[in-house]
Amino acid sequence: MTGVTLTDVAQRAGVSTPTASRVLRGVATVDQQLKEKVLLAASELGYQPNRLARSLRERRTGIIGFLNVGSTAKFHTVLAQGIYDAGLENGYAVVTGMSDTTDRQQSYAQIFAGFQVDGIIVVPTSQSDPAIDRIAKHIPVVEVDRSASSVSRHSVLLDNQHAMEMAVDHLVELGHRHIALLYGVEQVNTELERVEGYLCALRKHGLPRREALMLGDDFSEAGGMRSTAKLLDSGVPVTAVLTTTNEMLAGAVQVLREREINVPEQLSLIGMDDTRWVRLMTPPVTVVEQPAYDMGKKAMELLLAAIDEKAGQHPAEIRFAPRLIVRSSTSPPPFDSL
Amino acid sequence: MTGVTLTDVAQRAGVSTPTASRVLRGVATVDQQLKEKVLLAASELGYQPNRLARSLRERRTGIIGFLNVGSTAKFHTVLAQGIYDAGLENGYAVVTGMSDTTDRQQSYAQIFAGFQVDGIIVVPTSQSDPAIDRIAKHIPVVEVDRSASSVSRHSVLLDNQHAMEMAVDHLVELGHRHIALLYGVEQVNTELERVEGYLCALRKHGLPRREALMLGDDFSEAGGMRSTAKLLDSGVPVTAVLTTTNEMLAGAVQVLREREINVPEQLSLIGMDDTRWVRLMTPPVTVVEQPAYDMGKKAMELLLAAIDEKAGQHPAEIRFAPRLIVRSSTSPPPFDSL
DNA sequence: TTGTAGGCGTTATCAA
DNA sequence: TTGATAACGCCTACAA
C-alpha cells in the first residue's frame, strides 16, 4: 500500500492517466518524450501498480488457488514447489489452502472464488467435493496427484499401475513368489490404482491373488504397523512386502525391528517415494520414486493452458512415469521359503 | 467468477444495491421483509461477493503474503501449516512465495505489494533484504524462524541458545567432555545463536573452547559429510557430536557408517528437529525439537495484531522453548576416552 | 429505514 | 497520439 497511484504519476509527468497507463504497460505507441517523463515520474514516486484495481477492470487476477492436503510428506512439499515455481515463471501468484477435512476445503473453495482466482489446482481428498464441482463450472480446475473419479477433469497423475508393476517385476526377477501388499483403504484413486497395478503384475507373472497377502488399513504409520503385525501373525508364507506409501512403510519397518526380522535376508521391502529416511535406513530401502516437482510444474502449466484457450477442450489426463530405485532392502528370498 | 453481482441480487429482490449490501453484511437495520427477499435472491443466484471490489473500496484485502524458503524440511512444512491454519481461522488468505534466491524473493515482494497484502510473514534468507525493508515501511512484516539482524522487526523465533544448551547439558551429564559442533557457515541468526549457545554451555560447565571441535560448512548433507570427515581425520579426541540441523546430521551419519564408528558406543550424536528418519534410524537419534506449528500460528497472530493496532508498538521478539527428546544415540562416553 | 451519488485505482472506448 | 469519460463491483456518505 504505497499509496502512490497512477494518477499521481500522470500528474507529475503532466499527462493524462490513460497515457501514463499506456506507457507503463508498454501498450500502444506514445510520444518518446512523454514516455520518458512518465517513466521518470513513476520511478521517482516509487509507483507500484495496484493489482486489485487492475484485476477488477481486466476481470482476471493472476492468482491461482492451490488446495493442498495437510501432508508433511516430501512428495507434497516438492509438488508445491513445482507449482509455485511454474506460477512465478508465468506471472501468477498462488494462494494456498491446506486441509484434509471437507469442510475446510469448502471454506477455501469459497475464499478462492471470492478472490476471483483465475484457476484452481487441487489435490483431492475425497471422491468428490461439491464445492469444487460448483466452482469448476466457472473456472478451470486441475487435479494433481489424486483424482476425484466422480467428475472428469484435467489431471496430472502418476502412472500408479506401472509403479506397482515395476516393484513386483523387480521382486519376481529376484525370485519372490509370495509378495504382500500394504495399502490404504481410503477411497482415493492412487490407492485403488496401486492395488490394481499389484494385481495386474501378479497375473502377468502367473502368481495367484491371495487375500491373506493384501492388507488394507489407514495409510499411516499406525496402519502400517497394524497390517504388518496382522500379516506376520497370520503365518502365511511371505518373502517380500510392498507398500503404497512411505507412511505405511515406516510402520512396517518398526514392527519388523521389534520382531527381529532381518531385511532383506528374511524379508524384502519396497516403499513408495524417495525420502531421506528411506535412504538412511539400515538397510537403505528400495523405492519407487515419483517426479513430484515436474508433476507440480505440469499441473500449473496445464491449468494456465486451460485458462488461456478456455475452449471446451475435453479433459486431459497426464500420467508421469515412476522410477524404481534399487537399494539394499530387496534381495533374493531365503532358501527355505517353500 | 460466478458473474453474479450485488446489483443483480438487489434487482431480483427489488431493492437498491446498498440495501442488499447492508443485508448481506448484516450491518445496520433493514426491514425484515426486505432482508428476507435479499437473502432469498442471493441464495437463488448463488451470489458470491467479489472480494477484489470490496478490497479496493475498503483498502484492506484480507491477504497475507508468506515468503518461505525452498526447504523440504518438515520444520518449514509444519511451520507453513500453522500459518495457513491461523490465517483461515481469522479470515485471512495466504499467498505463498517459496525461494532461496534473493532475486526471486524480490519478485515475490513486488508481487505481494502489488496485491496490496495486509501483511507479510517472511523466513529471511539473508541478513537483509532491501525489497522487504522497503515494503516494511508501509505494511507490517513479521519474521519467523530466522531473523535478518540488520533491522529490528517483529519476530517469532526458537530460543536457539537454550536449544544447544540443553543438548550440551545432556551430554555433560552423561560424562562427555569432548563435544564437537557441526554448524552452517551461512550468516543466519539461527546458526550464529546456536554456535553461541554451544559456547555458553561449554563455559557453564568449565569446558574449554576448542576450535578443532567446531566445524563450519554448508548446512547441507554434503556439508555434514565434509565436516564429519574433517573432524575424524584431525584425530582430536571427541566423544559426542552435535549438529545445528538435521541435514548436517544426515551427512554425519553416513560418514560414521562408512567408517564403521558405532553410535552411541564410540560416539554420541544429537540432532536438531524431530523428523521421521531420525526416529527410524538405527539407533534412533536424540534431538532437540522445535514447536514448528505453534511458531507458525504465533507468527500469523502476531502479524494480525500488528495489522489491527497499527500503533507504533515497538518490535516484539517472541522466543519459543525447544524440547530435548532423548533416544538411543546418546550414552556415556567410552571408558578409554581420555 | 431506504435510495442516490460518488469514489476506490485501473483499463477500455471513443473523440479529438 | 492523446485525453475525456465510463466502467469494473463494492461500500460510504449523505439525503430523502
Mean pLDDT along residues B56-71: 95
Buried residues in B20-49 as b, exposed as e (16+ CB within 10 A): bbbbbeeeeebeeebbebbbebbeebebbb
> Which cell numbers in the block locate residue A233?
501373525
What is d(CA B131, CA B65) in angstroms, rounded to the nearest whole number?
A: 14
The residues near B221 (Cβ < 8 Å, ≥ 6 apart) are: B247, B248, B250, B251, B254
pLDDT of residue B172: 98
Residue of chain B whose alpha carbon sits nearest to that of A284 = B281
Band the pLDDT of A27: cuts 50, 70, 90: confident
Residue of chain A whose alpha carbon sits nearest to that of B104 = A88
Phi, psi (degrees; rounded to nearest 5) at B180: -95, 155
Band the pLDDT of B130: cuts 50, 70, 90: confident
pTM for the predicted model, two decimal places: 0.95
Instruction: Answer for the pair B169, B203: CB distance below 8 angstroms, yes or no.
Output: no
Residue ranges matching CATH 3.40.50.2300 in chain B: 59-158+292-322, 160-290
pLDDT of residue B187: 84
Cell 481410503 -> residue:
A186
Instruction: Answer for the pair B94, B82: CB distance below 8 angstroms, yes or no.
Output: no
For the residues of B159-215, what is the DSSP string, one character each? -HHHHHHHHHHHHHHHT---EEEEEE-S--HHHHHHHHHHHHHHHHTTPPP-GGGEE
Alpha-helical runs (H) found in chain A: 6-13, 17-25, 32-45, 51-58, 74-89, 102-114, 130-136, 160-174, 189-204, 221-234, 246-258, 276-280, 292-308
Looking at the predicted structure, is the pLDDT value of residue B311 above 50? no
Question: Across-strand partners of B180?
Answer: B241
Portion of chain A with pLDDT greater than 90, in percent = 85
Of all protein residues, which has its CA closest to the C1' atom of C8?
B57
Question: Across-strand partners of A143?
Answer: A122, A155
Rounded, the Å distance between the CA of A59 and C1' of D11 is 19
Residue of B53, B74, B88 lying closest to A104 (CB–CB): B88
Looking at the predicted structure, is the pLDDT value of residue A311 above 60? no
Residue contact A277–B276, C-beta within 8 A:
yes
Shortest-distance nucleotide from B8 CA to C1': D9
Closest CA of chain B from A2, distance in Å? 6
Q: Alpha-carbon Rg of chain A, whole angstroms?
A: 26
Which architecture does CATH list for B6-49? Orthogonal Bundle (1.10)
Closest C-alpha to B77, from B245, B319, B277, B293: B293
What is the CATH topology of the domain spanning A59-158+292-322?
Rossmann fold (3.40.50)
Looking at the predicted structure, is the pLDDT value of residue B337 above 80? no
Amino acid, res. B271:
G
> Which cell numbers in the block locate residue B142?
513479521
pLDDT of residue A304: 96
Band the pLDDT of A2: cuts 50, 70, 90: low
| Percent helix, strand and coil across chain B, each to the nearest 5 | 45, 15, 35
pLDDT of residue A310: 58
pLDDT of residue B228: 98
Band the pLDDT of A322: cuts 50, 70, 90: very high
Of all protein residues, which has its CA closest to the C1' atom of C9?
A53
Shortest-distance nucleotide from B33 CA to C1': C1
Closest CA of chain B from A194, distance in Å? 24
B25 CB below 7 A from strand D atoms: yes
Chain C: positions less than 7 Å from a protein CB are: 1-5, 7-13
Which architecture does CATH list for B160-290? 3-Layer(aba) Sandwich (3.40)
A50 CB below 7 A from strand C atoms: yes
Phi, psi (degrees; rounded to nearest 5) at A68: -100, 165
The Cα-based distances of A335 to A169, A175, A209, A239 in angstroms read 20, 10, 23, 10
Residue ranges matching CATH 1.10.260.40 in chain A: 6-49
Residue-averaged pLDDT of chain B: 94
